[in-house]
Structure 1
Amino acid sequence: MASPTISIIIASKDGADTLPPVFEKLTEVAASYDDIEFIFADNASTDKTPDLMQDFSKGRNATVVHEPRPGKSYALNTAMERANGSLLVFIDDDILPANGWLEAYRDAAAHNPDTGAFLGQIRPEFLASAPDWLVHLTNIGKCCGCTPLSLAEGPCPPRFAKGGNWAIRRTALEGLRFDEERTNLRAGVKPTGGQDTEMAHRLERKGAGVRFVPSALVHHQIQPQEMTKEFIFKRYQRLGRGAAAQGNRSFARNLLLPVEIPVLAIISGLGWLFGADRLAAVNMTRLAACLGRAEYILGRAGS
């Protein structure tokens, strides 16, 4: 077996419902390459996730690590410590790689030696009938961890980094680790998230560069319970907390939150009332993110 040039990393907490089809796709990937390895990080799961990881790993160049501290950043950092590849490819436990996915990353890394991070395309795999407004949100990159259809191949802002499908050149890291404090998903009473975007911002600031590779395509399994307005609203509140934790909005902009919140609430409410569902949905996500920002800021001020 050749020394690995690519490490495929998955961190999962209680992913037993979505991992089986992921491993079906990765079986095809494993059969196509002899220079890859898999690193699976079980993040304090209470279901059959560790067993599924062990079963897939049998007879393959794969390692299963156990991170008892709940928090995606903890699990990713533990996995990275065990990875040997020169290119680290990250996907989530509900991601289905398309044909040519890994080859697209390999080609992008080979043809762009000065780029440190590569972002792949993410499209939804709805497991129930999706309303038009939800499809619209995914098409513009505002829901379900999807990338916008309008995003063109080439250099792109780090804000488009999605943890479900991206890759980092090992030499670009130079000791960087995923943030284990402010943006660590599932860590703490009020989870934030955004550790992947935060890492992409740090890579760009150190000159590593970020590039979008649409041919590195995956599909994201969207469960029926994830397709409701309530679920999406709560998710965007969490994303708002994560954005505030990263400090990527000026103090002056944050002062506008008391004005933005009621305005967005009115626009979204009227949109739903009069059948302008796409408009309502977009402003619903903005409202939730603003509420999340305000919640984080007020929580910090009171601590």
Structure 2
Amino acid sequence: MTEIVNKNLDITIAVPTYNRASYLPKLLERLFNQIDVEQLNWEIIVIDNNSTDNTSQCVQDYQSKQLSNLSLRYFLETKQGAAFARLRAVREARGYLIGFLDDDNLPALNWVAQAFVFAKEHPQAGAWSGQIHGDYEIKPPAGFEKIQAFLAIREHGAQPLLFKPEHLQLPPAAALVVRKQAWCDNVPQQPQLTGKLPGLLVQGDDYEPLLYIHKAGWKIWYNPSMHTYHQIPSQRLEKDYLLDLARGCGLCICQLRLINAKSWQKPIVILRTFLGNLARFSQHMMKYKFNSKSDLISLFELQFYFSSMMSPFYYLKQICKKRLKSLYKIKSSI
């Protein structure tokens, strides 16, 4: 295996961002004030995914006052989508560890140190995440804990544990740490799932790289010593946003389950995905006696089960589109 990382740096903290210049100062201040990092060689990189606000100026302002032993670098990634921003971050990172923080994350002041310690203690860990707590602008609705994981809130207790990728039990890309080698050796440069875009709500882009890393034999861990706070504005608790989120998370389920499936397994995976979620959808309807419209949380669950049930058809539709596009290109070139 060819070594591809710069051993001069221990860890790169990568911040993919899009039109969140108002959020960046809080995050950068947290990073500039990290503790127990005196012995670490590390850097921060901001990946601007085509922002139209003053993101670049915000980063420049912080570059002018950056610490002498900490580099802050800025990159513009013009290919839209969170998956492409992360791929650019991996290419530019000079650390053999990469810690991803979303622009609305607020890491605890020992987050970087705890991420590095865990890497040393768990050499077979290809990726790990920690506790992600909600920092809510308004109080969430009753029963919100049932769906909080969809908003990247993860609180799995005080003991380390292994995630179960085979059941799609994985951490979000927010506040995730990976070994650059594990990523570069196994994650394709062209993602199947690019992340939420205008007119394209399908998600799953944060799980896709982890499935490839796990297939290669790396472990995916939960490290409770890493604490992050996810800022959640009031609009993310509104009905329209939550139902769009449920739909986007559901429609990617079949594609995620197919990523590491062998060719002969794919028809089985497609059928099981449909039938399993049909059962969940039906049970949910019976449980709430068709009155889930009055309960936002149960309505969210209903939308997720329905979209998961429809995900095989969405996947097959995308395959047909790609093949038709390829045929069109061939005919145009003749």
Kindly tell me: are residues 231 and 190 of structure 1, through their superposed partners in 2, closer, same or farther at Cα, counting changes over 3 Å? same
> Please, what TM-score do these two structures have when normalized by structure 1?
0.86
Query: Please, which of 202, 215, 224 is the counterpart of residue 212 of structure 2?
Result: 202
Identity over aligned pairs, percent: 20
Kindly tell me: are residues 234 and 46 of structure 1, through their superposed partners in 2, closer, same or farther at Cα, counting changes over 3 Å? same
3-state SS of 2:94 partner: coil
Question: 1:29-61: per-residue Cα shift (whole Å, max 9, x none)?
Answer: 289445110111100111122222232233341
| Structure 2 counterpart of 1:161 | 171
Kindly tell me: are residues 219 and 183 of structure 1, through their superposed partners in 2, closer, same or farther at Cα, counting changes over 3 Å? same
1:80, distance to aligned residue in structure 2 (A)? 1.1
| Structure 2 counterpart of 1:298 | 313
User: One-letter code of the match for 2:103?
Assistant: D
In structure 2, C-alpha distance between the alignment counterparts of 1:174 and 1:44, rounded to whole Å: 24
Answer yes or no: is 1:192 the counterpart of 2:218: no
Kindly indicate whether the alpha-carbon contact (under 8 Å) linking 2:254 and 2:315 is maintained by their aligned counterparts in 1: no
Kindly tell me: are residues 30 and 103 of structure 1, through their superposed partners in 2, closer, same or farther at Cα, counting changes over 3 Å? closer
Answer yes or no: is 1:78 the counterpart of 2:73: no
Kindly tell me: are residues 161 and 179 of structure 1, through their superposed partners in 2, closer, same or farther at Cα, counting changes over 3 Å? farther
Kindly tell me: are residues 190 and 15 of structure 1, through their superposed partners in 2, closer, same or farther at Cα, counting changes over 3 Å? same
Kindly tell me: are residues 197 and 226 of structure 1, through their superposed partners in 2, closer, same or farther at Cα, counting changes over 3 Å? same
User: One-letter code of the match for 1:289?
Assistant: F
> Please, what TM-score do these two structures have when normalized by structure 2?
0.78
Question: 1:114-145: per-residue Cα shift (whole Å, max 9, x none)?
Answer: 2211112111000122233224543xxx3321
| Structure 2 counterpart of 1:36 | 42
Answer yes or no: is 1:254 the counterpart of 2:261: no
Query: Please, which of 82, 98, 113 is the counterpart of residue 103 of structure 1?
Result: 113
Answer yes or no: is 1:46 the counterpart of 2:52: yes
In structure 1, C-alpha distance between the alignment counterparts of 2:139 and 2:280, rounded to whole Å: 32
1:184, distance to aligned residue in structure 2 (A)? 0.9
Answer yes or no: is 1:182 the counterpart of 2:192: yes
In structure 2, C-alpha distance between the alignment counterparts of 1:17 and 1:226, rounded to whole Å: 17
In structure 1, C-alpha distance between the alignment counterparts of 2:303 and 2:78, rounded to whole Å: 31
In structure 1, C-alpha distance between the alignment counterparts of 2:8 and 2:232, rounded to whole Å: 35
Kindly tell me: are residues 21 and 301 of structure 1, through their superposed partners in 2, closer, same or farther at Cα, counting changes over 3 Å? same
Report the RMSD for the aligned CA atoms in angstroms: 2.7
Kindly indicate whether the alpha-carbon contact (under 8 Å) linking 1:182 and 1:192 is maintained by their aligned counterparts in 2: no
Answer yes or no: is 1:66 the counterpart of 2:76: yes
| Structure 2 counterpart of 1:15 | 20
Structure 2: gaps of 5 or more residues: 1-6, 259-268, 321-334
3-state SS of 2:33 partner: helix
User: One-letter code of the match for 1:146?
Assistant: I
* Structure 1 runs (4+) greater than 6 angstroms displaced: none
In structure 2, C-alpha distance between the alignment counterparts of 1:39 and 1:85, rounded to whole Å: 11
1:98, distance to aligned residue in structure 2 (A)? 1.1
3-state SS of 1:210 partner: strand
1:27, distance to aligned residue in structure 2 (A)? 1.9
In structure 2, C-alpha distance between the alignment counterparts of 1:149 and 1:81, rounded to whole Å: 31
3-state SS of 1:5 partner: strand
1:113, distance to aligned residue in structure 2 (A)? 1.2
Answer yes or no: is 1:24 the counterpart of 2:39: no
In structure 2, C-alpha distance between the alignment counterparts of 1:287 and 1:164, rounded to whole Å: 25
1:257, distance to aligned residue in structure 2 (A)? 4.2
Kindly indicate whether the alpha-carbon contact (under 8 Å) linking 2:164 and 2:170 is maintained by their aligned counterparts in 1: yes
Kindly indicate whether the alpha-carbon contact (under 8 Å) linking 1:182 and 1:246 is maintained by their aligned counterparts in 2: no
Kindly tell me: are residues 199 and 151 of structure 1, through their superposed partners in 2, closer, same or farther at Cα, counting changes over 3 Å? farther
In structure 2, C-alpha distance between the alignment counterparts of 1:257 and 1:131, rounded to whole Å: 25
Q: How does 1:142-157 map to 2 (within 5 A)?
A: 142-150=149-157, 152-157=159-164
Q: Which moved more, 1:42-51 or 1:25-34?
A: 25-34
Kindly tell me: are residues 243 and 50 of structure 1, through their superposed partners in 2, closer, same or farther at Cα, counting changes over 3 Å? farther
Kindly tell me: are residues 154 and 263 of structure 1, through their superposed partners in 2, closer, same or farther at Cα, counting changes over 3 Å? closer
Kindly indicate whether the alpha-carbon contact (under 8 Å) linking 2:13 and 2:43 is maintained by their aligned counterparts in 1: yes
| Structure 2 counterpart of 1:214 | 224
Kindly indicate whether the alpha-carbon contact (under 8 Å) linking 1:244 and 1:296 is maintained by their aligned counterparts in 2: yes
Kindly indicate whether the alpha-carbon contact (under 8 Å) linking 1:8 and 1:90 is maintained by their aligned counterparts in 2: yes
